[in-house]
Amino acid sequence: MNLKQFKVPLLLLIVGVILTIIGAYFKVQAIEHGSLLLTIGTFLEFCAIFLGIIKLIKISRQKS
């Protein structure tokens, strides 16, 4: 298993975590669009995990 195969899910996960942290900061400081950033960040994290699981399933099926 090569880490290059997980480039897109890892990138999505990193961007999602960054947006979630920024959104949480905006919510604490009562700055506009904090909820939107939290929602988008969490959605990106979910997509990254979902894509990673699909990639793992495809890799395990190829080895069988």
Would you state the pLDDT for residue 1? Answer: 65
Mean pLDDT of the chain: 93
Residues in the chain: 64
Instruction: Calculate what percentage of the chain has a pLDDT beyond 70.
Output: 97
Domain that holds residue 39: 3-63
Would you state the pLDDT for residue 24? Answer: 96
Would you state the pLDDT for residue 2? Answer: 76
CB of 13 closer than 8 Å to CB of 45: yes
Would you state the pLDDT for residue 14? Answer: 96
Number of domains in the chain: 1
Low-confidence ranges of the chain (pLDDT < 50): none
